[in-house]
Amino acid sequence: MAMATVTYDKASRIYPGTERPAVDSLDLEISDGEFLVLVGPSGCGKSTSLRMLAGLEDVDKGAIFVGDRDVTHVQPKDRDIAMVFQSYALYPHMTVADNMGFALKIAKVDKATIRERVEAAAKILDLTEYLDRKPKALSGGQRQRVAMGRAIVRQPQVFLMDEPLSNLDAKLRVQTRTQIAALQRRLGTTTVYVTHDQVEALTMGDRIAVLKDGVLQQVGTPREMYDTPQNVFVAGFIGSPAMNLSTFRVEDGYALIGDSKIQLRRDTVANMTEADGGDVILGFRPESLDRVAPNTPGAFPVEVNVVEELGSDAFVYGTLPTPLATASKNVVGGGGDGIVRVDPRDVPAKGDTIWVTIREGEQHVFSSATQQRISTHVVKTDASRTLAG
């Protein structure tokens, strides 16, 4: 099978009559055989980026390459890519086999080859017994697999997938995402996958590219995004439940939370600038907190508002002491609210106050002026704690 890298070279899409590009100078190199996930909130430009690669959107500036071939102005059908959409778009009057082989039939591939490729794909996708059925006789999950099969039989250089799981129910989504990831590793086809679901991104991608307002924020492995988010947006977006992020006053190398003091690393404090005005944005994940005795150095109180018990896990949603920062400053991330992961066998009651400390090395510190990361150290998280939660 032909293999390919994909390169976005400062590629922009500017819709007529708009000021801000929908995709702004995207620079991204996707390796041969890589599963890259584009993730971000609605309207961040991820689907537009994918459609630019497919040839369904114009590239107004910059270029896109598949391998070393410039495809910026090549017709979609000549780009050697196959797309799987959120809507399965199957032909209702055709059997599963005919749906899967339709693109090849149009391309005048001989019947025997079509049959062979369709059967091979059906076997991989557990669709063999459904080949003679019509789509209406299939479940949503099966139809989505037919749509995948249709892409696979074309043996393209690149698969493009645009939120292919969003029409499935939760349990089936989890199951199908595992299947797609395993399938891609087996086929080894370069894949660009768009989703707004960061858990999906973390569990499927070799690397993740986070977009916001058409601008690439960060690209890296799931581990890198989790351990060293480059800015406040990525920090708050990746991880479930979300990272706690608030603005704090800094005095003598300590961040002040109410009457408590949290020591910051010297190299972090050294990276603060005049523009920060003596404040930092401090982030810490719910799973980076330990419950401690009230008088422990660096401990701060959390007043329990709600406890969410999930069986294997429990999370406390509570209030941190105020004031967190100077009143004039914009407090990031909901002000004085915080989430703490606690032992599900030792859950506090609503209205209780628990005391917590941030684990050594698990602080994320960002500039209050630029929102960029200023803590230089890499967070060392325990690898057994899962990324997605």
**What's the CATH code of the domain at 302?**
2.40.50.140
Residues 211 and 75 in one domain: yes
Q: Which H or E run contains 148?
A: helix 140-153
Residue 383 lies inside a defined structural domain of this protein: no
**Is the distance from CB of 147 to CB of 90 less than 8 angstroms?**
yes
Residues 158 and 256 in one domain: no
**Is the distance from CB of 359 to CB of 290 less than 8 angstroms?**
yes
Closest CA to 298 of 256, 340, 267, 338: 256
Residues 42 and 126 in one domain: yes
Residues 67 and 28 in one domain: yes
Non-local CB neighbours of 60 within 8 Å, separated by 6+ positions: 12, 13, 14, 21
Please give the distance of CA 244 from its chain centroid, rounded to a whole number.
18
Residues 185 and 279 in one domain: no
Residue 384 lies inside a defined structural domain of this protein: no
Residues 187 and 248 in one domain: no
Closest CA to 347 of 319, 294, 384, 311: 311
pTM for the full predicted model: 0.88
Rg of the chain, C-alpha, whole Å = 24
Residues 144 and 182 in one domain: yes
Strands 158-162 and 190-195: parallel
**Is the distance from CB of 267 to CB of 321 less than 8 angstroms?**
no
Q: Which of 177, 192, 225 corresponds to the end of one domain?
A: 225
Residue 235 lies inside a defined structural domain of this protein: no
Residue 375 lies inside a defined structural domain of this protein: no
Q: Say how far apart CA 91 and CA 291 lie, in whole Å.
A: 57
Q: Which of 195, 225, 255 corresponds to the end of one domain?
A: 225
Residues 116 and 48 in one domain: yes
Residue 254 lies inside a defined structural domain of this protein: yes
Residue 237 lies inside a defined structural domain of this protein: no
**What's the CATH code of the domain at 96?**
3.40.50.300
Residues 170 and 265 in one domain: no
What local confidence, expressed as pLDDT, does residue 165 receive?
87
**Is the distance from CB of 234 to CB of 208 less than 8 angstroms?**
no
Closest CA to 371 of 261, 275, 291, 244: 275
Q: Say how far apart CA 201 and CA 387 lie, in whole Å.
A: 11
Residues 296 and 195 in one domain: no
Residue 385 lies inside a defined structural domain of this protein: no
Helix axes 170-187, 140-153, angle to 10 degrees: 20
Residues 115 and 47 in one domain: yes
Residue 107's CB is within 10 A of a number of other CB atoms, namely 10
Q: Say how far apart CA 264 and CA 252 lie, in whole Å.
A: 9
For residue 116, the enclosing domain spans 6-225
What local confidence, expressed as pLDDT, does residue 272 receive?
95
Closest CA to 52 of 4, 86, 82, 11: 11
Phi/psi of residue 335, nearest 5 degrees: 60, -120
Residue 279 lies inside a defined structural domain of this protein: yes
What local confidence, expressed as pLDDT, does residue 386 receive?
47
Residues 209 and 346 in one domain: no
What are the mean pLDDT values of the chain's consecutive 10-residue runs (389 residues total)? 84 94 96 96 94 95 95 93 86 94 91 94 91 92 90 92 87 87 91 93 95 96 94 92 90 88 92 93 94 92 94 92 52 65 94 93 93 82 49
**Number of domain units in the chain:** 2
